Chain A
């Protein structure tokens, strides 16, 4: 069964450093998403991506964040200058034919900012 994969599973970084989180969505999916979940809190939408551009972003997704689909398979989230409050689990998800369809989540990257 196809699945979304994410690397690394755990990233530790110093405050102010740049991090890139990587995702490989399900191959025939067209919609891609990033979410974050701070420990003990709800899953929060960051950004959706379709047809090589951002289709929607939340208030959390400020200028420190960017997304890219550098090739036909990878989907990345970059945080330019990490803050302590960026520590969270980051989930990538992909969905099929329309933006209303079910999404399938990767296992997440736990980001710890020191």
Chain B
């Protein structure tokens, strides 16, 4: 069973659209949660941590549902520069588990 599962997409959306990504994790003892973005052949870059109460950073909103072991990321008013792969990352113990990523392309 995969530790972290994401819909790989691809998601192709027009500029200005709202898009949501989902992620599920298998280890109920997981302690911290993150969204990273990765551009082609580049390193993952931290987008935001995900807190139990939900959190927002500009156009980005992250939610965590511990009971369902589910994490989401909402991007509002998509920009061309949002095109990337979005990685769901979960920490359990001293290990960090990455999802396979969800590919987003924002179209002019």
Minimum distance in angstroms from A87 CB to a CB of chain B:
14
Residues of B in contact (CB 8 Å), total: 22
Q: Is the interface of B mostly helix, strand, loop or mixed?
A: strand
A8 to B103, CA, bound (A): 28
Contact B97 A45 (CB under 8 A): yes
Question: Smallest Cβ distance from B44 to chain A, in angstroms?
Answer: 5
Chain A residues contacting B99 (CB-CB under 8 Å) are 42
Contact B93 A56 (CB under 8 A): yes
Neighbouring B residues of A43 by C-beta, 8 Å: 38, 44, 87, 98
Measured between C-beta atoms, what is the minimum distance from B72 to chain A in Å? 18
Contact status of A48 and B43, CB under 8 A, knowing A100-B31, A100-B32: no
Known contacts A91-B44, A105-B43; is A100 also within 8 Å of B91 by CB?
yes
Which residues of A6-64 are within 8 A (CB) of B? Answer: 33, 35, 41-45, 48, 50, 55-56, 58
**What CA separation (Å) do A55 and B31 show in the bound complex?**
16
A56 touches B95 (CB 8 A): yes
Whether the Cβ atoms of B98 and A55 lie closer than 8 Å is: no
Contact present for A105 and B98 (CB under 8 Å): no
Q: Is there contact, CB below 8 Å, between B46 and A104?
A: yes
Give the interface of A toward B (CB within 8 A): 33, 35, 41-45, 48, 50, 55-56, 58, 89, 91, 99-108
Ranked nearest first, the 5 interchain pairs of A and B with the lowest CB-CB distance are A56-B94, A105-B43, A43-B98, A100-B32, A42-B100
A-B contact pairs, 11 of them (CB 8 A): A33-B96, A42-B87, A42-B101, A45-B98, A50-B94, A91-B43, A99-B94, A100-B32, A100-B91, A102-B34, A108-B42
